Amino acid sequence: MNILILGYGKMGKIIGEIAESRGHSLVAKINIDNREELNTLDPTMINVAIEFSQPEAAVENITWAMERGIPVVSGTTGWLSRKAEVEKLTQDKKGAFFYASNYSIGVNIFFKVNEFLAKLMNETSGYKASLEEIHHTEKKDAPSGTAITLAEGIIRNMDKLKDWHLVGQSNENEHSLPITAKRIDPAPGTHIIRYSSDIDEIEISHTAHSRQGFALGAVLVAEWIQGRKGVLSMDDFLSF
């Protein structure tokens, strides 16, 4: 399989290493310094684009690939206000677009555990939900995409919660889930959900020890997406 990497930072480099170890070829490794190389590529020689760039570049990168009939596997966060635009382009071009806030298999299991616990807590009074995420200092967006996915899972399953807010940037109210974002090196990613009461506290957490799990998941999805069409997600890939 011939892979185009859009965004060749720390994650892109690990993705490239894993892809090559699995027998795939890297057509190009594009970042902000060599974007002009896209003009020299033959789209017919690219089987998939794996996009892990920056929030400000994501839509442009995805659009470039989609307009050339290249399936896209994206893991960039911080740009989702324009996700509907990308999904429409996917449908118009009859292409394939796969987005996940986190490609780790363990995290996606954690998403399901999170929703199950939220359903249980929805039937229980006296507990206040909160979410904390910790990432390395180079991560630009806050809260993380994974934290937002977790928050959305909680809100869907708890009647009293209507939205979420980032602690320190928005006013707290009883219908908003507080998210605390911390940036501490060298943390690859920790997410903690807490339900606190005057009597006790319930807590579930996921801690990534490296970026390997995220990168491997992205490559596995890139292999899986071949021949598929439409807007796809980890639920499709894992058949939850």
> What letters, b where the CB count within 10 A reaches 16 and e where it falls short, cover 64-78?
bbbebebbbbbbbbb
Which residues are 227's β-sheet partners?
none
CB 144 within 8 A of CB 135: yes
Residue among 139, 160, 175, 182 flagged as catalytic: 139
CB 48 within 8 A of CB 71: yes
Clarify whether 112 is annotated catalytic. Answer: no
Clarify whether 128 is annotated catalytic. Answer: no
Residue among 83, 119, 135, 191 flagged as catalytic: 135
Active centre residues (catalytic): 135, 139
